Amino acid sequence: MSWLTVTRSGIVVPVRLDPAGVTGPTVGQARGRTWRSAGPAHRVPSSVDGSRVQQRIVEAVACLPEGSAATGWAALAWLAPRWFDGVADDGRTMLPVPVAVGDRGTARPRKGVTLSEDWLFDDDVLTVDGLPITVPERSVSYEARKARTDLMAMTHVDMAAFHDLIDLGALASYADRLGSRPGTLRLRRAIAAGNENAWSPQEVRLRKLWADHRPARLLCNAAVFDHAGNHLFTPDVLDPVSGVAGEYDGDVHAGRERRRHDLGRQESARGAGIEVVTMIGGHGEDQAFLRRLDAAHDRARARTGPRRWTLDQPAWWVDTSTVARRRALSGEQAARWLAHRRRT
């Protein structure tokens, strides 16, 4: 038997080898085709798909000592898998599952699992559907602190906020508790540059590239209106001072109807006096985007006359730009007003 009792549908908890064959397969049975290894002395039926992200997480934790807890991206994926899928940036390589064993835990490293032996606060672990995981603030902090770049750290922070798992204020307070642990400076930079209304990792990348090139107070997915209170569009990134907006054009925008819609939005924006610059994926795009961004700022400076757009929200508009506002919505309100975020 395992010390875990996971209740989530479709997830199979590994069982230990059992010489009597009662609570698990015998050594002989485990050599057969009906079982596969899930870790040292643990097996699951061979029909269980071990590549599924949540199954991978359970197998990683179950084979470690009692008191272990999924952390980092794995804990976040257990709560909200949209942007935490356990796959590297290349879209193919599966990331090892990070598991917190605490500073008093003992475990041997094994393939596919990263052990975190950093000490845990007393309130750092909770149980969700039978699986121990670290609290979101701890999980995000772990990923941001070990991130190779500030962009990666920012992305973890912003995407956790996208799922309303953390808010920047609570995360900053948690960072203060960490003192001078390794990586905390990168974590604090990510929090300072964070935004609770970014909708995708690509938007985070666009925003950081822009801010590094032209420092500005950039807004994420800020609704833009005309002076009659009509909603014009909601750009991925907006510099409200210069009147320049940035949009990321990914694969989801490739369809004819979506492309037609995007062009219509950009035309409306330019008609109101906002210059729109688009970023696409691919090698060498960063410098090309920055050249287009500079040109957009030049055009914006050349505009004359009063602005025909505003960020002032009409009375009928429901503001969902912060974690606190989204958490305050009722279930019915969330289904209505956050549906566009779930389609990103």
Note the pLDDT of residue 31.
92
How far apart CA 17 and CA 28 sit, in angstroms, is 10
Long-range Cβ pairs for the range 48-55 (8 Å, 24+): 48/12, 51/94, 53/77, 53/81, 53/85, 53/86, 54/8, 54/10, 54/11, 54/78, 54/81, 55/11, 55/12
Note the pLDDT of residue 256.
60
How far apart CA 126 and CA 131 sit, in angstroms, is 8
Helix pair 72-79, 136-146: axis angle to 10 deg: 140
Note the pLDDT of residue 269.
81
Round the average pLDDT of the chain to a whole number and report it.
92
Task: Tell me the per-residue pLDDT of 7-62, one tens digit each, with 9 for 90 and over.
Answer: 999 999 999 999 999 999 999 999 999 999 999 899 999 999 999 999 999 999 99
3-state DSSP assignment of residue 128: strand
Note the pLDDT of residue 321.
97
Note the pLDDT of residue 275.
95
Answer whether 27's CB lies under 8 Å from 81's CB.
Answer: no
The stretches in the chain having pLDDT less than 50 are: 253
Note the pLDDT of residue 282.
80
How far apart CA 140 and CA 76 sit, in angstroms, is 8
Token duo for residue 194? 């964070």
- What type of residue is 331? G
Task: Tell me the per-residue pLDDT of 243-272, one tens digit each, with 9 for 90 and over.
Answer: 999 999 875 545 566 666 666 677 778 888
Answer whether 100's CB lies under 8 Å from 132's CB.
Answer: no
What contacts 177, CB < 8 A, 6 or more positions away? 121
Do β-strands 97-100 and 113-116 pair in parallel, antiparallel, or remain unpaired? parallel
Answer whether 139's CB lies under 8 Å from 148's CB.
Answer: no
Give pTM, 2 decimals: 0.92
Measured CA distances, 296 to 173, 220, 256, 262, 275 (Å):
38, 18, 25, 17, 6
